[in-house]
Amino acid sequence: TAGRLHTKYNLMQELKKVRNVAAKARVGAPHETWLVLDGTTGQNALAQARQFKEAVAVSGVVITKLDGTAKGGMVFAVSHELALPIRFMGTGEKIGDIAPFDPDAFIDGLFEQDSSEDSEEKEAAIES
């Protein structure tokens, strides 16, 4: 669905057609429909997820771009409000950077402290 913005009505209609073609080609298809969310999206991710779920009956979420400063905290709201499981997470650009979603590791990553010298300097400044 690259480039299919949830605000573009015509593109969302095309996506519905793709789903219908798959359903006609094989009984029960598509078996899964995953929404891939960019971890840098922020609050807009919930609006996107609502629209995509309404259009094509999304059955799970994949969150990507968690290799930089993005934390992907919006995935909690998406999962909770829309009752969608988080299937996979991506932390890089290669296929090996996609892994099954591990909630414990994800939460640890949200609260992980930067171990760099900058972080140590900030802590020292706060203590002074």
pLDDT given for residue 126 in this prediction: 59
pLDDT band at 128 (very low <50, low <70, confident <90, very high): low
Write the class of the CATH domain 9-127: alpha beta
pLDDT band at 4 (very low <50, low <70, confident <90, very high): very low
> Per residue in 108-122, pLDDT tens?
877 876 555 555 655
pLDDT given for residue 1 in this prediction: 45
The dihedrals phi and psi of 92, each to the nearest 5 degrees, come to -170, -165
pLDDT given for residue 122 in this prediction: 52
**How far is Cα 90 from Cα 5, in angstroms, rounded to an integer?**
20
User: How far is the first Cα of the chain from the last one, in angstroms, to the nearest whole number?
Assistant: 51
pLDDT given for residue 5 in this prediction: 59
Range 7-24 average pLDDT: 88
> Per residue in 61-110, pLDDT tens?
999 888 766 677 888 899 999 999 999 999 888 999 999 999 888 888 77
> Per residue in 37-61, pLDDT tens?
988 888 888 988 999 999 898 999 9
**What is the H or E stretch that residue 16 is in?**
helix 9-25
**How far is Cα 77 from Cα 80, in angstroms, rounded to an integer?**
5
Write down the domain spans for the chain: 9-127
pLDDT given for residue 108 in this prediction: 83
Strand order in the sheet with 34-38: 34-38, 60-64, 86-90, 98-100
